[in-house]
Structure 1
Amino acid sequence: MEKSQTKARPQREMKVLAMGLPRTGSASLAEALEILGYDGVYHGVKAIDSPEDWRVFDRAADATFPVLPGYTGKGFTQEEWNELYAPYEATTDMASVFGTHLIKAYPDAKVVLTIRDFDKWFKSIDENVLQQLWSPAANFSVNVIEPILGSRAGPASRKMMLGLFQAKNVDEARSKAREAYDRHHREIQECVPADQLLLYRMGEGWGPLCEFLGRPVPDVEFPRVNEAAALKAKITEKAKRDMSSAALTLAPYVLGVGALGIAYLAARQYSG
């Protein structure tokens, strides 16, 4: 009998870091980079179905953000990031939360900084990220469901948001949103050499992006992805799957407790 072989993960060079914050058109940019031929483009939606990715993000957050209770101060090396990003030539969305730390890990990558009007961005990230991560349903998942499953998705997501805003809770995050937004854009521009950085706004089309990346302009329209809808569908699907998995995990214990209860009642019945 032949031994089963695990398919080796591709090892690729990180070429593009999209450092626009979440909710700045990162899904559209990710699809655009795929159209331009980058081999492996990471977006946060991919992490939803990847428990190992969340474990990496969880460790990275604790290594990066002093505001977190579990802060280690160790920093996160390129070797550690490669546990997640080795198969990818570009990354978008959640990567931006780590900002200059990730840029220093991949100093040769080109950086695209997508900029969105602050008020529109804050409304979007509050409604689609902060409110969702700290909702009653999310609290139940983080405190009950995910510990049963050994998942770090919820805790890691919360750590990353609190780290971005340098906040200890979601209310403080909201109050520090403008400060965090300005700090992020300032630090990226100060960290990256001018010839490696593109300031980009959604709606500018292929031209500036292709010129910066040295790629020919595709003969297709620039993608427009409804990121909120795609994310909501993925999260809903994952929540249903997690509930089913948790129920299956608990079933033997629930049945065991039920059996003990029935035995106890039966013993009382017969002893009476």
Structure 2
Amino acid sequence: MERAVTWWQACVFLLSALVLARWICTRSAGWLTYFLLFRPTLKHQRRRSPGQRKGLQVILCGFSRTGTMSLMNALDILGFPCFHGSHLAKPSIGDLFMKAFTNGNPKDWIKLLDGYASIADFPAFSSYKELMKIFPDAKVILNIRDPNKWYDSYSETISKNTHGSERNIIFKLLTPLLADYVQEVVYDKYFRSNPQDRDICIRAFTEHNQEVKKHVVPENLLIYEIEKETGWKTLCDFMDVPIPDVPFPRVNERKAFELLVKRIALIHIMVLFVYIASIMYILFRIFA
């Protein structure tokens, strides 16, 4: 009888551990990823000082891998602190974004973007129409590039390291929170949940750019072709600010992205290892 109770306890514990595994591993790894990899960079980002005019002033509507990270840094330098998809690495911020994205409540967007003057990457292009209604005076920048070059870059970086992580149970446990956000906000909404189909993705990319051009009045829109721009002039002229005496930032190249992905994967593997080791230890104690 005692042995049967022990087996019953072990089975209940193991079943509970398996059910909770994805949530526990993802959340734990999400916070560790933020504190170890993203926070050291993001905490140095310049924010508005008290007393400055509040409200979003710039919306960048271009898809990811169209210079969003470089433009984020450029806008920071120009005095328009930028909210970027990388900010969602902080789980609490990611949760608030998903709430704003799903419900469309202006209060959630205002809370999310408090202290920022611009927004870029998938939090921006996925909700630019809603943001334009909430912040009607904001200028709009459509950052674009050659569709085929865009897909080559996108498929070898973001989709390769997010959508592919859903293929089996081990990788499901390792899926970063950012991958979950990208899946729902980008892949499901734009790519029919198939970001590895070149034709679907390029069609979505092209249609989105055409839609932005139709939706935004020309005098409030800057078409920013990242492969043709070489410096500050176009951006500064549109924002009506002086050209800063520093080089235009060029960041988030493919090699840097791949290194970041490897570091994120290492953190998730470590979390999974600790989780499994903890389960094994508790089971050992049960049977000891």
The TM-score bracket by the shorter chain reads 0.7 to 0.9
Q: Give the whole-Å Cα distance in 1 for the aligned partners of 2:115 and 2:261.
A: 24
For residue 76 of structure 1, report the CA deviation from its aligned partner: 0.9
User: Cα–Cα, structure 1 residues 185 and 20, in superposed 2: closer, same or farther, change >3 Å?
Assistant: same
Which string of whole-angstrom CA distances, capped at 9 and with x for unpartnered residues, describes residues 129-168 of structure 1? 112112258755762245xxxx743221211222442403
Map of 2:254 onto structure 1: 228
For residue 88 of structure 1, report the CA deviation from its aligned partner: 1.0
Aligned equivalent of 1:26, options 60, 68, 78: 68
User: Cα–Cα, structure 1 residues 213 and 153, in superposed 2: closer, same or farther, change >3 Å?
Assistant: same
Structure 2 residue 15 is the aligned partner of structure 1 residue 15: no
Q: Give the whole-Å Cα distance in 1 for the aligned partners of 2:280 and 2:113.
A: 40
Map of 1:92 onto structure 2: 120
User: Cα–Cα, structure 1 residues 34 and 223, in superposed 2: closer, same or farther, change >3 Å?
Assistant: same
Q: Give the whole-Å Cα distance in 2 for the aligned partners of 1:139 and 1:52.
A: 27
Aligned equivalent of 1:185, options 182, 190, 209: 209
Map of 1:43 onto structure 2: 84
Structure 2 residue 243 is the aligned partner of structure 1 residue 217: yes
For residue 47 of structure 1, report the CA deviation from its aligned partner: 2.4
TM-score normalized with structure 1 length: 0.75
User: Aligned letter for 2:261?
Assistant: I
For residue 194 of structure 1, report the CA deviation from its aligned partner: 1.8
User: Aligned letter for 1:91?
Assistant: I
Structure-to-structure mapping, 1:139-150, within 5 angstroms: 140=169, 143-145=172-174
Which string of whole-angstrom CA distances, capped at 9 and with x for unpartnered residues, describes residues 85-132 of structure 1? 212111111222334333333322111111101110011111111121
User: Cα–Cα, structure 1 residues 245 and 217, in superposed 2: closer, same or farther, change >3 Å?
Assistant: same
User: Aligned letter for 1:162?
Assistant: Y
CA RMSD of the aligned region, Å? Answer: 2.7
Contact 1:16/1:90, CA 8 A, preserved across alignment? yes
Aligned equivalent of 1:127, options 138, 156, 166: 156
Map of 2:186 onto structure 1: 161
User: Cα–Cα, structure 1 residues 169 and 181, in superposed 2: closer, same or farther, change >3 Å?
Assistant: closer
Structure-to-structure mapping, 1:199-218, within 5 angstroms: 199-202=223-226, 203-204=228-229, 205-218=231-244
For residue 51 of structure 1, report the CA deviation from its aligned partner: 0.7
Q: Give the whole-Å Cα distance in 1 for the aligned partners of 2:266 and 2:243.
A: 41
Structure 2 residue 274 is the aligned partner of structure 1 residue 243: no
Q: Give the whole-Å Cα distance in 2 for the aligned partners of 1:98 and 1:80.
A: 13
Contact 2:157/2:254, CA 8 A, preserved across alignment? yes
Q: Give the whole-Å Cα distance in 1 for the aligned partners of 2:107 and 2:170.
A: 31
For residue 209 of structure 1, report the CA deviation from its aligned partner: 1.0
Contact 1:14/1:88, CA 8 A, preserved across alignment? yes
Aligned equivalent of 2:198, options 174, 196, 200: 174
User: Cα–Cα, structure 1 residues 82 and 246, in superposed 2: closer, same or farther, change >3 Å?
Assistant: farther
Residue segments in structure 1 that go unaligned for 5+ positions in a row: 1-8, 64-74, 264-272
Contact 2:61/2:142, CA 8 A, preserved across alignment? yes
User: Aligned letter for 2:113?
Assistant: Y
Which string of whole-angstrom CA distances, capped at 9 and with x for unpartnered residues, describes residues 35-64 of structure 1? 1122x212223322x012222343455x3x
Residue segments in structure 2 that go unaligned for 5+ positions in a row: 1-46
Q: Give the whole-Å Cα distance in 1 for the aligned partners of 2:210 and 2:254.
A: 27
User: Cα–Cα, structure 1 residues 166 and 249, in superposed 2: closer, same or farther, change >3 Å?
Assistant: same
TM-score normalized with structure 2 length: 0.71
